Amino acid sequence: SDHVLLRADRAAYLVGETMNLSALTPVNAGSIYLDIVKEGQTLSTRSQPVKEGRADFAIDVSPDLYGALELHAYKVLLDGTLVRDTRVVVVDEARDIAIAISADKDTYLPGEETVISFQTNQQTNKQPIQTALGVAIVDESVFALQRQDPGFAKLYFMLEAELMEPFYQLKGFELPAAYAPDEIPLREAQEASAQAAWAGAPVKGLGMQVNTFPGKMAALRQKQSDDFNALGNLTLLAMAAIPLFLWLAVILTLRGSGLIKRSLLSLLKVSGLLFLIYAALFGLISFLDEMRWRWDFIYRLDLEEILPVIFGLALLGSLLGLAIYAWRRRDEAAKFITLLSVAWAGLLLLLIMATKDGGGEPSETLAMLALFVFLLTPGAYLLYGQKLRAEKKRVPGWLATTAGGIIAVPALAAPVLGLFTFGGGMMMNGAPMPMADQGVVFEMAAGAPREMMKGEIAVEEAEAAPAGEAAATEAPRLRQFFPETLYWNPEVLTDEAGFAQIQLPMADSITTWRLTALASSQDGRLGFATQGIRVFQDFFVDVDLPVSLTQGDEISIPVGVFNYLTEAQEVRLVVEEEAWFELLGPAEQTLTIAANDIDVIYFPIRVREFGQQGFQVTAWGEKMSDAVRRPVRVLPDGKEIRLSDSNWLRENTEIALNLPDEVIPRATYVEVKIYTGALAQVIEGLEKILRLPHG
């Protein structure tokens, strides 16, 4: 008898408003899930627990929700079935701010500088308003290709079926000739019209069988990770408190004995002795490392593994001897210090289990706190050992001194490791990697050297020819930069008069760029505008290359010739010969192309070398000329096999990878990644989320 009824406060919304939805159910248990679907793609999924027979959703209407939306509310019953309800709403663009976009030219040549101006005004009184503009310039072909995906044929038949459904025509509703955007009667009329228009709109059927196991497992893993994070943070707090209690016990013991001065003087002497011992030990290790290539028995010694074992056994023996003394002599202070040491070691093991086995990521701040408080531990042991020696208890005194001296080694090394682990970012070539600027222009000025891809051949560019026709003897400008996103800046600030201006060079694509601008004012008002920027020249050529080639392929490369001049011209096409391919025909071909005509010429080649390559064609015409270079990836003629290994990077780390005997020469590459800390791997995946539009 359980069911779901979805209700929206309105049927039409504007970008920037809040959509309030209520899902009603007679059974006061469980959760109700809400899917927001646009054009068959789920944009957002959220859930709310059922309270008093309802679940309320408040959704901020962002620009990506512009258009018709399908709202699916559903509930999962105990037997795994679903009960659901669906509503359709429409989201219109924000009209609080009007954005006027103007360019200094109607049409640009490839590589030409452009100046684009923005003017923002209030929609109500047309007064200027200061805003922040989010500006994106993306190739229009990306949006065109996005609509023609592999399911285009299926979409055609789905649309055909929907066109057969009856539609509705509304009568008796007319918009007033002039109105203010905040006019209440108009909004009420729009609301009534929208409710009636969407009442009979067809909604795609959704299956009742839903597999909730992956979602439940993901929630379980998230809860497990959160629990281990909390456990790791509590462990770090306890580890930071233990050295403080250790010092408190030592200070109270010294005050009761009256040997503070003698203990401090002895501490200074022992510290100097430890310094000399460690300096001599470091010199011995350096000497052995230098002589390991001459003396065979030293070469077989792995000092990096032997020394930690020796120090660890010495520390364990000294603490065990101190514990035996404490219980045999009934020394309460020594018992307390020994128990603190055991507790700290147990907490360290617990922290390792929470971070490594449990996948937890404790707070870096707490980790730094525990790390620096740990630096106090050696001093407490050394001072307590001198107190015991001053009391003529030489054996336990030297045991505590030995323990403090051994703990001093990792304590002094910890700050150095901490700087690399929590030092605020990854390093490259000895300097921090800079963050990208907010405003990014993916282009360089004409005539300036461009950043070339690996394996690509640098080509000297001639300066851009002046607008108009180029003489046949002049070298044409090489077009080789074809990005999908030309400009992306989320914060173009206008002045108090609402004016802003950007200047950037156009790419080499012959296309129309779609410029979109979203304006937001300080008081929350929004505006949206889009405009096309046309890049064109009357004569050009283009190379139609596949996505990739394979070494040994034989293929005819089509070169399209586009002549939009008012006169016919004779064109000589020349292919730039390169080592990665072999021409199976002439490198030059000539054709006569009529006015306003398109033709194609084929150049057969055989692929020799793999890698990232480029194919360049120059078209010499009587009136105008052009040159283009397109990149292509050539794959080796074989099967790709990936090998991976990992290790700690300490002084020197060597990783051996066994390559198959049938490996293709020069087809093997090694990628080395160095992580500065446990969180670096998480940061590495952010570029998959924060990325520019692509197609």
Q: Is residue 597 in a domain?
A: yes
> What is d(CA 399, CA 48) in angstroms, rounded to the nearest whole number?
61
620-673, pLDDT tens digit by residue? 999 999 999 999 999 998 888 888 887 878 778 888 888 888 888 888 888 888
- Selection from 518, 686, 689 nearest residue 136 by Cα: 518
Q: Record the tokens describing residue 294, joined without a space.
A: 């001459």
Looking at per-residue pLDDT, the higher value among 424 and 486 belongs to: 486
> What is d(CA 42, CA 36) in angstroms, rounded to the nearest whole number?
6
Please measure the distance between the N-terminal and C-terminal CA atoms of the chain and give it in whole angstroms.
47
| Phi/psi at 196 (5° precision) | -70, -40
440-449, 544-553, 647-656: range with lowest mean pLDDT:
440-449
Q: Is residue 656 in a domain?
A: no
Q: Is residue 156 in a domain?
A: no
The verdict on 46 and 181 lying in the same domain is yes
320-371, pLDDT tens digit by residue? 888 888 888 787 888 888 888 888 888 887 777 777 665 667 777 887 887 7
Q: Is residue 463 in a domain?
A: no
Can you give the residue range of the structural domain that contains 19?
1-93+166-201
134-151, pLDDT tens digit by residue? 999 999 887 665 444 444
Residue 80 sits in a domain whose CATH number is: 2.60.40.1930
The verdict on 1 and 55 lying in the same domain is yes
Q: How does residue 576 score in pLDDT terms, banded at 50, 70 and 90?
A: very high
Query: How many domains does one find in the chain?
Result: 3
| Phi/psi at 670 (5° precision) | -120, 130
pTM surpassing 0.75? no
pLDDT at residue 104 tops 90:
yes
The verdict on 270 and 319 lying in the same domain is yes
Q: Which residue among 593, 619, 637 closes a domain?
A: 637
Q: Which residue among 394, 425, 456 closes a domain?
A: 425
Q: Is residue 512 in a domain?
A: no
The verdict on 253 and 347 lying in the same domain is yes
Q: Maximum distance among all alpha carbons in the chain?
A: 111
Q: Record the tokens describing residue 593, joined without a space.
A: 């192309």
Write down the mean pLDDT value for the chain: 77
Mean pLDDT of all residues in 79-92: 87
Quick one: how many helices (H) and strands (E) in the chain? 12, 29
Q: How does residue 34 score in pLDDT terms, banded at 50, 70 and 90?
A: very high
Contact 384, 393 (CB under 8 A): no
Q: Which residue among 185, 201, 217 closes a domain?
A: 201
The verdict on 240 and 194 lying in the same domain is no
62, 100, 154, 484 from 150: Cα distances, Å: 29, 37, 9, 20
- Selection from 494, 500, 490 nearest residue 129 by Cα: 494
Q: Is residue 120 in a domain?
A: no
With a pLDDT cut of 90, the percent of the chain lying above it is 31
Residue 361 CB partners (closer than 8 Å, separation 6+)? 225, 229, 232, 355, 678, 679, 682
| Structure confidence at residue 687 (pLDDT) | 57
pLDDT at residue 210 tops 90:
no
| Structure confidence at residue 572 (pLDDT) | 95
